[in-house]
Chain A
Amino acid sequence: MIKLQNVEKVYRTSSVETLALNNINLTVNKGEFVSIMGPSGCGKSTLLNIMGLLDEPSQGHIEIDGRRVESYQDQKLARLRNEKLGFIFQSFHLINDLSVLDNVEIPLLYRNTSAKERRELAREALEKVGLSNRMKHFPKQLSGGQKQRVAIARAIVGRPEIILADEPTGNLDSVMGNEILAILQKLNADGATIIMVTHDDSMARQTHRLIRLFDGTQVQ
């Protein structure tokens, strides 16, 4: 489903050069639930962003569904992100000036979906994460766990095959964290491929496979 070959990422600023990823070779298969672990600054987010086509590798190749995407232009990349990928972030990234329902609709704006259908799909997604009673709320009126559930609803509303989650439970207590994990496991059981960055061993253990990074290099 996703294949990385000799991926290297170097961040260059005027004074320093950081090798964030070093020769990563990695395949994630359809239906897998993979977790990525490693100390802070080892390149987990960078790796996830590259897999999610939010960032380009300095070297190496990325294949999605057997097709190399390096040469893709903005339009094609946007289409892939929109249709194939769903993102969940540690800091939720909800738009504060939009209601929960409007936030969840966002991915559908960038494809041809009628307003009515958008509403329906957003409602459905919110039901899946158990938030159908908070649709008219604004993000400021929600708890952290609720915000993350909105973010998950937003990630799944477009029915992507791959969900990329960057420390989805990092800002939450363990009860909330387990709830979120349970939702992700349910999505995985329903067929979604999930790649999750986490700091939590016990969570990583509940996934199919663990990838460990150290200083930009894959060690497991």
Chain B
Amino acid sequence: MLRHFFTLIWNKRKTHALLIVEIWASFLVLFGVLTFLLSNLRNYREPIGFSYEQVWSMELTNNQDTTDVPAKVESILRRIRAYPEVESASRMSSNTPFTMNNMNNSVSYQNASTLAEFYRTDESLYRTLDITMQKGRWFGPQDRSARYTPLVINQKLQEKLFPGENPIGKTIKKDDTHFWKVVGVVETFKGKGEYMNNTPAIFEPLTEKDWDMSILIKTRPGTDATFEANLVKDVLAMVRNWGAEVTYLTESRKTQHNLTLVPVIIFGIISTFLLINVGLGLFGVLNLNIARRRGEIGLRRAMGATERSISLQFLGEIWVLASFSILLGLLFAVQFPLLHVFDMDAGIYLLAMAVAVVVIYLIVTLCAWYPSRQASLIAPAVALHED
């Protein structure tokens, strides 16, 4: 039975070529879109590693004033910390959470080397952002007079530079005269938000000479915009002709999310339309195919085929074609994990493949269902009568 139908499909391969190409192409598109969606989803499910609720970011601008800038920023920070509404405040380089700013550099340890995001900050950031330590500690007063520069790294960096080792106490050469020493490891730190890929991160202390002018302020629950206005007014009173702008991290997080979600949604919509199109095309082709084969259907019925076996024949044919197309598609798709195209987990690719396979079979079945059913309902006498 099966051999008979395989022969039939094989002998009709030229007629089927276009259909195969169509299914193959939609499989690949689906695979691409799903990889994109799933990697975002996977990122989303990974914790960002800090808390942004009640945290404000104040961006200072010194404008023309260039005298004693680091000291002025420090005194502003001290002033901010003095408010009862403020739980904790930290200075930070301009790559504060959910901004577009980046400060990455490569770091190496022995033979390993990787790109990492550098955050310059102070001893209290872990409190301001409620960062969970996994090993060791955040840098503190005990490091101030040390000859090395203390570092806190995230686990991703540990995996890259110190695989299988305890990184605490390890030193990394910074330049000819300076050393970094790892004092702590945090779980994750995804500064760009949930959709960001978990990448290596390094926190190093600000020095007295650094001009970094972002201040993260963790306020007490219930603190409102009135305090914000007072805060800005007070700060600006301290430094003439400076500027100060406050944004809530919850707001910038939303903006950052939209940057990721908008393309995801656009991609999703486009590919949904594409799949609907493919589905309709398939439906049309199958309908036509069945209309052309009414004679064959009538004949098979006359020879003893039941309605069910006619339905199954047509469904089976499309499944064989889909399987063949998917197989061709998989040959392409497996190249991505094999050749490590894009820095992505093989798991994501495999999951995308699996989901794409299921979706293609679903679409194909859905589109073939009705025509196949119609085919089985054709009255044999009528079908035979026609040609």
Contacts and interface: CB of A to CB of B under 8 A. Distances in A.
A83 interface: yes
Contacts of B150: none
Contacts of B295: 93
A54 B380 contact: yes
A97 B299 contact: no
Interface string A69-82: 00000110011011
B8 A110 contact: no
B302 A87 contact: yes
A49 B382 CA distance: 10
A158 B300 CA distance: 14
A56 to B, nearest CB: 9
Interface string B366-387: 0000000000000111001101
Interface in A83-135: 83, 85, 87, 89, 91, 93, 95, 97-99, 102, 105-107, 109-111, 115
A116 to B, nearest CB: 11
A95 B8 contact: yes
A131 B1 CA distance: 23
B303 A106 contact: yes
Contacts of A98: 4, 7-8, 11
B303 A82 contact: yes
B304 A83 contact: yes
Given A54-B302, A97-B8, A109-B4, 13 more contacts: A52-B302, A75-B306, A78-B304, A81-B303, A87-B302, A87-B303, A89-B384, A91-B387, A97-B11, A98-B7, A109-B1, A110-B306, A154-B303
Interface of B: 1, 3-4, 7-8, 11-12, 295-296, 298-309, 379-381, 384-385, 387
29 contacts: A52-B302, A54-B298, A54-B301, A54-B302, A54-B379, A54-B380, A54-B381, A55-B380, A74-B308, A75-B306, A78-B301, A78-B304, A78-B309, A81-B301, A81-B302, A81-B304, A82-B303, A82-B304, A83-B304, A87-B302, A89-B384, A93-B298, A93-B299, A98-B11, A102-B4, A102-B7, A110-B304, A110-B309, A115-B3
